[in-house]
Structure formats: C-alpha cells, structure tokens
Amino acid sequence: MTEDDEGLPLADRLARHIRTLLISGELAPGQRLSEAAFSERFDVSRNSLREAFRLLTKDGLLRHEANRGVFVTVPSMASVIDIYRVRRMLECGALRQAWQQHPAIRVMRQAVADGQKKRDAGDWVGVGSANMVFHTAIIDLSDSARLTEFYERISAELRLCFGLLNDPEHLHSPFVDMNDAIVTLVEQGKPAEAATQMETYLNLAERTMLKALERAEQA
Amino acid sequence: MTEDDEGLPLADRLARHIRTLLISGELAPGQRLSEAAFSERFDVSRNSLREAFRLLTKDGLLRHEANRGVFVTVPSMASVIDIYRVRRMLECGALRQAWQQHPAIRVMRQAVADGQKKRDAGDWVGVGSANMVFHTAIIDLSDSARLTEFYERISAELRLCFGLLNDPEHLHSPFVDMNDAIVTLVEQGKPAEAATQMETYLNLAERTMLKALERAEQA
DNA sequence: TATGGAAATATTGTTGAACAATATTGACAT
DNA sequence: ATGTCAATATTGTTCAACAATATTTCCATA
C-alpha cells in the first residue's frame, strides 16, 4: 500500500488497493483470498480486512461463501450478458438525451484522438485506457453522480472478464473508429443516431467478448 | 432482530435490519448512529456493527464523517434530482425495449389493480406499496440482475426522502391512473409511447417531490 | 488398492478488551 | 460573554480468544 492516503478509513483504502489488484489481474478469478494471508500481507487487522472484503463483495468483484472465505469472482457468460445489458441501457440512454454542448463531449473527442494515436503506436494498453475514458465520458453525459458510480462498478467487473482473455488489449483496437463516428454524431446534434450506433457497437463488443470467453473457458 | 436469519453473515443481517429502520422512518435523517448505543441495542460487537454501517454507507443511506461517526443521510434537492434522473434512465429505458409478452407485465397489471383497490379503500400505505411493486416490475422488464439491485438501492434512498414529508403516502394516489395508462400501452405493444408517458410521470413526480421537500425544509 | 470415517488441523465468524487519535464538553480565567 | 485548556467521550484500529464450520490426515476395513 504505497499509494495516497487521503485520510480515508482504512477499509476503504484497502478495498481500493485490492480492487486495483483485481482489475490488473494480479489476483486471478477463482482464487481464494485468505484472511490470515492478506491481513499479514497488508499489515492490517483481520477485522479491517473483512470490512474491505465486504465492500468488494457488494461490488461483485469478490464472492463470499459461508465459512469458506472470499474468492475472486469468476466471470460467467451470464454476467457478461448482464453487464452489456446494463451498458446498453446506460450508454445508449446517456447518448440519446445528450445535450450538444455538454462538456463531456470534449472529453470523448480527446479520448478518441488519444486512442487513435496509441493504436498507431501499437500501444494496446493505451488504447484500452483511452477506450475506458471514452465510455466513462459517455456516462458523464447523463450528469448523474449515482449513474457514474454505478458504471464504475460495472466497469470494474468487466475488467475482471478481460483478465480471463489471452490477448485482451487487442480487443479494443477495432472500436476506436466506431468511437470516432459516435462522438461525431453527438457533435453534429444527432443523439438518436449516436445511440443507435452505440447499440451496434455494444452488441458487437458483447459478441466478441463472449466468443473470446468461450475460447478461454475451453482452455 | 426478531426476523429470519437465512444463515447470512451477521453484518448483512444487521444492515438489512437497519435498512428497514431507515426506510420506515424510525431513524430520522441527520440522526447520529452511535456505535456503542447500537451495538448494545442489537447485542452485537462494535466490529460487526461497523461492517454493517459501511455497507449502508456504500448504499448512500448513511453518511460517514471521519472521527465523528455515521449519520442518517439527509436527502437534498440535489439527491432528489439525481435519483429521478436515474429513474428516467432506467424505467423509461426498460419500457422502451419491453417485449410485449414479458412476465413482468402481469406483475405491473396486478400492481395497478391492487393500487386502485387500496386507493378506493383509503389505504394510502397500501397504495404506496403497490406503486413500489409497479416500478420494480418495470425494472424487471430489462431482465438485468445488476439493474434490479441498483434500483433497489435508489429506491431505498427515495424512501428516505419520503420520510421527510408530512403526509408522504398521499403523494402516490394521483399516479395510480397513470400507471394504468402505462401498462396498457405496454400490453398494446406500444413501448415507445409507454416510455414517453413514464417520462411525463417521472417529471411530474419529481416536481411534486421537490415542492414537498421545499415545504418540509422551511418547517 | 480403494474407501469410509473419525480424529486432527486450519479457517472463518464473532466477540471483548485495549489503546491511540480525534472530537466534544465543561470549567475557569479574563 | 468569550477564549483557552484540561477532562471526557467517541471513533479508528488492533489483538487475542473461542465457537462453529471446512479441510486434511490417517487409519481400519472391505
């Protein structure tokens, strides 16, 4: 735990730290997280650790089995389908009612430019990050703190899925140009078309993800 | 804690119990929840209680101030506006893509009938409950476990707002007939119209809520 | 050899006490 | 009445303990 404190309660800091381990894939899906081992590793009490575990369980990143401990969630086809259902609802909805001058649009445009640059440089991790910024900005179009927070949770769960894939970052590249088209439509004041495009995008992404997951499961 | 166990961990049971106290108004907005007092009251350790508090804080029902304790969230105009933004996104979205034969539609229709009966009997609490069932069923149209769970959280927060009002239950009555119109449109295979109606409904409900909250704040 | 089961071990679930750090209260002097 | 400082209470976190439940080990037996 070398990062910034911010004076937050220990359990929250712990949860954040463990979350980064989860989404970076340092903790593998299915892995059991022993209370003793982790409280030693982070040099905190079991009680504090358990609070953090509970928070992450509520976020769907960990799974809790009575008297057996907590495990890293193993993403399933069902969860992928559900997650994309949520994304269609939130992202398409945000686009559909987007106001042409919303500040988040600048962020979207910037993220697209960034993604293109990273792709041309062959920096696939960078492409993934830019893509993430892009979609977060779309949610910001809806100007709702609660939706933004909810999307963060969904987003973290999705990254858990990516952890199962063999060459995950490569997945994002084909979508950079679709992002471009979408933000352009929003800039042109065509929110309905943008939403439709996004639906196509998400359906495609979902299929790709499911196919990749299927391959990964067989292995 | 006289209710059912279900073998869930203590913190979860505690959180559920406290949540019912919150939404039923037995714990007033702004009130401080002393760890000592509540661990005594529920006959649990401070550690377990703190886990429960953290869960409820994540749900937005409690607010945590460092070194000062947890307080029942005081709903603000801003939170009401945000909550209705979420509801428009989720409920209108669910209606727009509703499949005409979805089982949740029966639940909606039943809830409408129930609400009308309760209203005619002057049972305002019953009207409120029926209304809640109706809107939860709308979310179920989207067939997403995550959206359903998220809506529960939003719903609980909204009930916290109702706790601030003087005669809260009375608020629901005018909406029973709008519910009727909406479910009828869905049954007729007109999801877009249903969504539009719902938007009108929610805008009206939001204004009513804000006005009532304004009155309550002055007092 | 394989299998079933019982004892031994490890892990989680929950508690209570302890203590440092911070916030609140109260007494006192001005 | 007001500001200051000590006294008190509360939260933040840890630790040690123990019951309850899982897992493993080991042995007897078919």
Question: In the beta sheet, which residues pair with residue A62?
Answer: A72
Predicted local distance difference test score (pLDDT) of residue B49: 98
Among candidates B55, B93, B145 on the partner chain, residue whose Cβ is nearest the Cβ of A58: B55
Predicted local distance difference test score (pLDDT) of residue A174: 84
Give the mean model confidence (pLDDT) for residues B13-40. Answer: 96
Among candidates B64, B89, B92 on the partner chain, residue whose Cβ is nearest the Cβ of A147: B89
B99-to-A101, A174, B215 alpha-carbon distances in Å = 34, 32, 41
Domain residue extents for chain A: 10-72, 77-218
Cross-chain Cβ contact B142/A89 below 8 Å: yes
**Chain A residues 19-48, Cβ below 7 A from strand C:** 32-36, 46-47
- How does pLDDT run across A120-161, given as a tens digit for each residue? 999 998 999 999 999 999 999 999 999 999 999 999 999 999
Question: In the beta sheet, which residues pair with residue A72?
Answer: A62
Cross-chain Cβ contact A146/B82 below 8 Å: yes
Predicted local distance difference test score (pLDDT) of residue A77: 96
Identify the residue among A10, A57, A89 best suited for mutation to test binding to B, counting B beta carbons within 10 A and taking the highest. Answer: A89
Q: Does the CB of B78 fall within 7 Å of any strand C atom? A: no
pLDDT of residue A55 exceeding 70 = yes
List the one residue out of B209, B216, B215 whose CA is nearest residue B79.
B209
pLDDT band at B5 (very low <50, low <70, confident <90, very high): low
Identify the residue among A45, A84, A150 best suited for mutation to test binding to B, counting B beta carbons within 10 A and taking the highest. Answer: A150
Give the mean model confidence (pLDDT) for residues A44-51. Answer: 97
Q: Which of A38-42, A123-127, A181-185 has the lowest mean pLDDT?
A: A123-127
- Looking at every residue in chain B, the average pLDDT score rounds to 93
* Contact residues on chain B for A66, CB-CB shorter than 8 A: 7, 9
Give the mean model confidence (pLDDT) for residues A19-32. Answer: 96
Give the mean model confidence (pLDDT) for residues B186-190. Answer: 97
Give the mean model confidence (pLDDT) for residues B87-114. Answer: 97
Predicted local distance difference test score (pLDDT) of residue B164: 85
Q: To the nearest whole angstrom, how far is the Cα of A5 from the nearest Cα of chain B? A: 13
Three-state SS string over chain B comes to CCCCCCCCCHHHHHHHHHHHHHHCCCCCCCCEECHHHHHHHCCCCHHHHHHHHHHHHHCCCEEEECCCEEEECCCCHHHHHHHHHHHHHHHHHHHHCCCCCCCHHHHHHHHHHHHHHHHHCCCHHHHHHHHHHHHHHHHHCCCCHHHHHHHHHHHHHHHHHHCCCCCHHHHCHHHHHHHHHHHHHHHCCCHHHHHHHHHHHHHHHHHHHHHHHHHHHHC
pLDDT of residue A5 exceeding 70 = no
Among candidates A93, A144, A154 on the partner chain, residue whose Cβ is nearest the Cβ of B93: A93
DSSP structure class, residue A88: I
Give the mean model confidence (pLDDT) for residues A30-35. Answer: 97
Q: Does the CB of A44 fall within 7 Å of any strand D atom? A: yes
Place of tokens 């939404």: B23
pLDDT of residue A3 exceeding 50 = no
Architecture of domain A77-218: Up-down Bundle (1.20)
**Could you tell me which CATH number the domain at A10-72 has?**
1.10.10.10
pLDDT of residue B192 exceeding 60 = yes
Predicted local distance difference test score (pLDDT) of residue A201: 94
pLDDT of residue B3 exceeding 70 = no
Identify the residue among A5, A8, A53, A54 best suited for mutation to test binding to B, counting B beta carbons within 10 A and taking the highest. Answer: A54
Give the mean model confidence (pLDDT) for residues A200-218. Answer: 90
Predicted local distance difference test score (pLDDT) of residue B1: 39
Give the mean model confidence (pLDDT) for residues B51-66. Answer: 97
Portion of chain B with pLDDT greater than 70, in percent? 96
Residue–nucleotide distance: A67 CA to D22 C1' (Å): 7
CA distance A40 to A189: 55
Residue with more model confidence, B168 or A114: A114
Give the mean model confidence (pLDDT) for residues A1-29. Answer: 85
Q: Do domains B10-72 and B77-218 have the same CATH topology?
A: no
B104-to-B36, B179, B217 alpha-carbon distances in Å = 44, 14, 37
CA distance B59 to B70: 13
Nucleotide lying nearest to B67, CA to C1' measure: D11
Predicted local distance difference test score (pLDDT) of residue B167: 75
